[in-house]
């Protein structure tokens, strides 16, 4: 069973940094490709970043490429999202998600992901 718990959200000033974590309490974390998504008020959930099972491949939305970095530590069953140069438009609830059965091509399609965390709020003030 996969249970994902995000942490690290909060209030940050524009231009600042924040690191989100997502921990899985199960024993199969390394079986899953992992992704981060976000949802701002009144908007649809959107893809942010994804990482392969081994951590060797990553994929980013254009809006965060060069500012955000996704990484994972399979020994700690944790995936991270390092967010730098934050902008007010990055304000959203951030969710981590796990994709079972990934064959190597990382996806930005939310329905490919089988398990989701409860989300953590990130607010960027101008």
Q: Is 53 exposed, middle or buried (0-12, 13-18, 19+ CB in 10 A)?
A: middle
Q: State the Rg of the chain over Cα.
A: 13
Dihedral sign for Cα 106, 109, 115, 119, please: positive
pLDDT tens string, the chain, 126 residues long: the values are 789 999 999 999 999 999 999 999 888 899 999 999 999 999 999 999 999 999 999 999 999 999 999 999 999 999 999 999 999 999 999 999 999 988 889 999 999 999 999 999 999 999
Choose among 64, 109, 111: nearest CA to 90: 64
**Residues with Cβ < 8 Å from 77, sequence gap 6 or more?**
23, 24, 25, 26, 29
């Amino acid at each position: 069973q996969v249970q994902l718990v995000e942490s690290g959200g909060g209030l940050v000033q524009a231009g600042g940094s924040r690191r989100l974590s997502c921990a899985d309490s199960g024993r199969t974390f390394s079986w899953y490709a992992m992704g981060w998504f976000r949802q701002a008020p009144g908007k649809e959930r959107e893809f942010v970043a994804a990482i392969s099972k081994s951590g060797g491949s990553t994929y980013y939305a254009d809006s965060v490429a060069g500012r955000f970095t996704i990484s994972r530590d399979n020994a700690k069953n944790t995936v991270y999202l390092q967010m730098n140069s934050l902008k007010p438009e990055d304000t959203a609830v951030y969710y981590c998600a796990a994709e079972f059965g990934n064959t190597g091509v990382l996806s930005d399609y939310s329905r490919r992901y089988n398990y989701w965390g409860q989300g953590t709020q990130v607010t960027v003030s101008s």
